[in-house]
A and B are shown apart, each in its own frame.
Chain A
């Protein structure tokens, strides 16, 4: 008997929309030309790239289409933004970021700290994942080259007030970058009305293809390219354009832009029903993150006294795909740095499950999770030494940690 598959891991990646695939296909075959070429093969492809740039411009609300630089994805965009800001800000040698950023930011900052003597200020968050604004203000100075703060957190969905944070950075004369990989296509964005200097996005998070993304660089912002060796993207990102990917990202952006409001009210409805249903059915569980201010598609629920990978394996057997902040689901065995930064106790952080929705999900998907989850949690709690007869046993179970 096969189970009906339910995909609730859209913050990890999304299915490419069929309209996106259809638009991309000709650019592998008949429209294979290099946009840089003089001949007709190249010319029409160049037009398609311009078109895609315009679509992305509209989704981001940027003032000019040439503010968009196509890259290979969110990670490249983040690396390019950080390195550029350091190289283009002589006399300024500090970066401010947060404890809950994606590794593409945190690891790059650590690298800059190690290899270029950059001082990195890491701003903490409260128990709901909200940024410590006081610490941020205190860290800003005339030494700050760049502030990099994510628009929305990938694990909890918590949204940062990036427009306000960017104003503060501007007042200090620092550049402001935001990793908006999770936010683009899920919240309204209008960059021309903000002081955000750079923004990273990724195609595969919004039903576009993998291997394509973009970096928004506000007109006039000093930029030093990461990849050298070609005039492409106005010299800002060398290398022959990934034209099928660019065309695909353009269509994905167009669809997201056209349906943003309707999609998000539908998606948040499903999300809220799942969340309420799970909390009603399962005791000793709670939502992590800032429920008043988060992405409409994300729910991160901690089920206490059990471990996330075990939950995921049993969910997987019930056809349900989600993800976990558990140490054991990552190759590094590091527990979620996001939940740790929020001070979530480890017996809860390990059992945190993230459900992330998209427009393809249905009420039936929610019902399937609501039916499967209580049994899974009960079963694992019976196996847990931290749990006895329907209650926590943390006071009696005190293992020796080796």
Chain B
């Protein structure tokens, strides 16, 4: 049986706002192809203030789909349309105390129903480009559609690169076989379409490293965490392109060269952090320690340690040195 949180059970067994809302003026009807679930969200919006006065739902779906729908209605009642549109599926999942990775699509369905209802209210057509496929990585909830997109957009050709870009396979690594199958299929399709060189394409079983494709960190003592814990903010790297990899600096660097490289990497990372309202600043480099100050949204972010790890991993890749990123507190100015 699924490991549902108490909140999910509560909202399934005693759903709030279930049923038909007779005087609804914003209705969203969506379905999740992954499991065949469907949701009808009915909102009553005050046309003058655009405030959502009432919300009800009807759901054809499993326990978490019903709970997610009910949670959605609770979240949107009292909000204006603009406020409601800021909600994401993660807010629904968080409201429910988390969902099993396989069930995250239930919260996505709620998010889409809200978008569809608002479009209906505004007299717009709503269509969705979200694609789903079989769940491949259970640890990070990465499905086949997400993998395929990442592989195509970034021309990924190794399991390691897929893990960097999507996190899939970065934790327990038991899905490596599944990722490789997707990688081989998508690469083959890309070769056929002429978007990838046949010599670069991934071929299952052709790895030169029979000891397993997901390696332990070579930096050894620098960190005892798996290197593939990469932040949500982690920016995919051009470094994996062969020509850049070939041009990557040799391990023997002067201190000045090392600091310059560190500065470069930090500069590359910042735009991604800034997009999410955060930032970071390089404070000092001392031996193998890189002192980094997290700023803005990064400071209290639950993913801060993952951000640090992501930057650290990137620094090590780039410099070839066992660098360790040490987050430092904001110093008094």
Contacts and interface: CB of A to CB of B under 8 A. Distances in A.
Interface in A231-267: none
Contact of B37 (A307, A397, A398): A307
A123 to B, nearest CB: 25
A195 interface: no
B58 interface: yes
A216 interface: no
A62 interface: no
Contact of A400 (B30, B60, B134): B30
B29 A400 contact: yes
B38 A399 contact: yes
Contacts of A386: 38, 60
A273 interface: no
B35 interface: yes
Interface string B26-37: 000111111111
B62 A307 contact: yes
Nearest to A384: B60
Nearest to A386: B60
A54 B40 CA distance: 60
Given A333-B134, A399-B30, A383 B59 contact: yes
B29 A397 contact: yes
A317 interface: yes
Chain B residues touching A, majority SS: mixed
A306 interface: yes
With most chain B CB atoms within 10 A of its CB, the pick from A305, A309, A331, A398 is A309
B124 to A, nearest CB: 13
Contacts of B58: 383-385
Contacts of A328: 35, 37, 61-65, 103
Nearest to A389: B20
Interface stretch (B11-19, B190-198, B229-237, B283-291): B11-19
Contacts of A154: none
B126 A347 contact: no
Given A385-B29, A402-B31, A309 B63 contact: yes
Nearest to B20: A388
B66 interface: yes
Contact of A307 (B33, B61, B116, B134): B61
A332 interface: yes
Nearest to B109: A402
Contacts of B18: 382-383
A334 B35 CA distance: 7
Contacts of A308: 62
Contacts of B105: 333
A401 B33 contact: yes
A383 B63 contact: no
Contacts of A332: 134-135
A339 to B, nearest CB: 12
Interface residues of A, number: 34
A350 interface: yes
Contacts of A398: 29
B172 to A, nearest CB: 14
A327 interface: yes
A310 B128 contact: no
A226 to B, nearest CB: 20
Nearest to B128: A402
A400 B127 contact: yes
A174 B1 CA distance: 41
B33 A402 contact: yes
Given A335-B35, A399-B30, A310 B12 contact: yes
B130 interface: yes
Nearest to B204: A114
B148 interface: no
Contacts of A317: 13
B115 to A, nearest CB: 10
Given A317-B13, A335-B35, A385 B63 contact: no
B60 A305 contact: yes
A317 B18 CA distance: 20
Contact of B39 (A313, A329, A399): A399
B102 interface: yes
A388 B31 CA distance: 18
A148 interface: no
B269 to A, nearest CB: 33
A326 interface: yes
A400 B36 contact: no
B116 A400 contact: yes
Interface in A351-402: 382-386, 388, 397-402
B112 interface: yes
A384 B59 contact: yes
Given A327-B35, A332-B135, A383-B18, A402 B130 contact: yes
Contacts of A331: 102
Given A317-B13, A384-B58, A385-B58, A335 B31 contact: no
Contact of A397 (B38, B63, B65): B38
With most chain A CB atoms within 10 A of its CB, the pick from B15, B31, B109, B127 is B31
Interface in B64-78: 64-66
A400 B36 CA distance: 11
A401 B36 CA distance: 9
A346 interface: yes
A402 B62 contact: no
A313 B127 CA distance: 33
12 contacts: A306-B60, A307-B61, A310-B61, A328-B62, A331-B102, A333-B105, A347-B60, A384-B58, A386-B38, A399-B31, A399-B38, A400-B29
Given A382-B18, A397-B40, 11 more contacts: A313-B13, A326-B62, A327-B35, A328-B65, A329-B62, A331-B102, A385-B60, A386-B60, A400-B116, A400-B127, A401-B30
Interface of B: 1, 12-13, 15, 18-20, 29-40, 58-66, 102-103, 105, 109, 112, 116, 126-128, 130-132, 134-135
Interface of A: 305-310, 313-314, 316-317, 326-329, 331-335, 346-347, 350, 382-386, 388, 397-402
- In order of increasing CB-CB distance, the 9 nearest A-B pairs are A328-B62, A309-B62, A385-B40, A385-B58, A399-B31, A402-B128, A327-B35, A399-B29, A401-B31
